[in-house]
Amino acid sequence: MSDTQTPAPAKLNPATMARQQVELAAKQLDIDPGVLQKITATKRELTVHFPVRMDDGSLRMFTGYRVQHNDTRGPFKGGIRYHPDTDLDEVRALAMWMTWKAAVVHIPFGGAKGGVQCNPKEMSPHELERLTRRFTWELIPVLGPERDIPAPDVYTNPQVMAWIMDTYSIMHGHTVPGIVTGKPLELGGSLGRFEATGRGVFITASEAARHLGLNIEGARVVVQGSGNVGGVAARMFARAGAKVLAISDSRGGVHNPHGLDVERVLSCKNQYQCFISDRLEASDITNAELLELDCDILIPAAMECVITKDNAPRVRARIVVEGANGPTTPEADEMLHDAGVFMVPDILANAGGVTVSYFEWVQNLQNLLWSEDEIDSRLSGIMRKAFSEVLAISHQKKLPMRTAALMLGIDRVAKAQELRGVYP
């Protein structure tokens, strides 16, 4: 790098960000400092280095993580992601957010998260299966349907969950469907689970719009992400009559100021593994440009730390609904709040996934099968109630929605910890 070049900005640390959020919320709560320290610290952190035989016969080492943050209110619960940038601090932050998220929607789970540092886009299905089964084997001592229940996350899916379930079941000598959620329906998965996170984003966005007097029909929506969060949410907005102006994946996206044909866009993505703008009557747009579009509702539904102090002044949305975990840094959060942007924070907005995961887990433990209508109705009721509770705290204390959501979640975990006490 020459002396005249500007160095790349340092990567934001999600674990630091998560702790800063807790500190802000804790100032508003009357919690014993020791209890706060106990529920903020991770209970267990596992780092494993394991070999995988690749298709060309070579042996390659991978690094994986499972962080179990807190199980005061129930078994550890959290996804497993496959991503080249996954590291221990990222997983620590995600595990903590899962704890607060489950508490906000009053689901009896604790928080955990896992990941493997890899690029699944460069791996064959057979390599991914071998990686998954070996990683599961490494985690078996800390997993269990009443101990720690994984789920899909970034670049993992129902097939990955099926491999985890099968590997765990083989090791225990009998089928254990409750060891994971987000499984295929054929293996005990729940109806509505794939759409759950995106549906929860749509429900909370609709509640925010109703609160602000904004009609969803005709509302201008921008979505960063096109998977089972962004893609599902975009479909639901389009079906409700909103105009989805832009949508993207990790490589960029497409934009039409008059609105996109969402079904056509997602079909193009599925068929060609990318967006082809000239087939979609749209122009190309970068992920950075997408975040700065003039819109009513912005949904960052991809990765962490995409809205920062550097681009927050250029965010022109009226409502931001966090489909991803941790997409907004604390500095950007404050700037958006000062600018009058209504924020629906991640631990509320994307809690639909853990909610329907809970439904799946309950069905597995009791050998039940609920209808999709029943699941959608239960999910809607829980999400709307949680939104109402967070909004009430925000109004009563005159605080941002994120602080209010964290207060609700942290206080519930702290009260559970006080009731359980410390043994011996």
* Residue 10's pLDDT band (cuts 50, 70, 90): low
Top pLDDT among 269 and 96 is at: 96
Right CATH for 196-349 from 3.40.50.720, 3.30.450.20, 3.40.50.300, 3.30.70.360? 3.40.50.720
Question: For residue 291, what are the contacts with CB-CB under 8 A and spacing of at least 6?
Answer: 222, 224, 298, 300, 306, 307, 311, 314, 315
The per-residue pLDDT for 9 is 47
The first and second tokens of residue 54, run together, are 């690749």
User: Other CB atoms closer than 10 Å to residue 92's CB: what's the count?
Assistant: 22
Mean pLDDT of the chain: 94
Maximum Cα–Cα distance across the chain:
67
The per-residue pLDDT for 406 is 97
The per-residue pLDDT for 4 is 41
The per-residue pLDDT for 279 is 75
Top pLDDT among 360 and 281 is at: 360
| Bond before 330 cis per omega within 30 degrees | no
Answer yes or no: same fold for 40-176 and 196-349: yes
* Residue 11's pLDDT band (cuts 50, 70, 90): low
Is the Cα torsion angle 271, 272, 274, 277 positive or negative in sign? Answer: negative
The per-residue pLDDT for 59 is 98
pLDDT, average across residues 197-205: 97
Q: Using CB atoms within 10 A of its CB, is residue 297 exposed (0-12), middle (13-18) or buried (19+)? A: buried
pLDDT, average across residues 69-73: 97
pLDDT, average across residues 8-30: 83
State the Cα–Cα distance between residues 204 and 210, nearest whole angstrom. Answer: 10
pLDDT, average across residues 57-86: 97
Top pLDDT among 304 and 165 is at: 165
The first and second tokens of residue 35, run together, are 């209890």
| Fold category of 40-176 in CATH | Rossmann fold (3.40.50)
3-state secondary structure of 269: helix
One-character DSSP codes across 252-269? EEEE-TT---HHHHHHHH
Find out whether 344 and 204 touch, Cβ atoms under 8 Å. Answer: yes
Top pLDDT among 106 and 268 is at: 106
The per-residue pLDDT for 5 is 44
- Residues marked as catalytic: 113
3-state secondary structure of 28: coil
Comparing C-alpha atoms, which of 287, 331, 286 is closest to residue 313?
A: 331
Residue 274 has pLDDT above 80, yes or no: no
State the Cα–Cα distance between residues 194 and 306, nearest whole angstrom. Answer: 24
The first and second tokens of residue 27, run together, are 């100032």
Percent of the chain with pLDDT over 90: 88
User: Other CB atoms closer than 10 Å to residue 40's CB: what's the count?
Assistant: 19
* Residue 25's pLDDT band (cuts 50, 70, 90): very high
Pairing assessment for the beta strands 111-117 and 220-224 based on DSSP bridges? unpaired
Among the residues of 273-311, which ranges form H helices?
Answer: 287-290
Residue 1 has pLDDT above 50, yes or no: no
State the Cα–Cα distance between residues 345 and 21, nearest whole angstrom. Answer: 11
Query: Amino acid identity of 224?
Result: Q
Residue 43 has pLDDT above 90, yes or no: yes
* Residue 157's pLDDT band (cuts 50, 70, 90): very high
Domain ranges across the chain: 40-176, 196-349
Percent of the chain with pLDDT over 70: 97
The per-residue pLDDT for 270 is 83
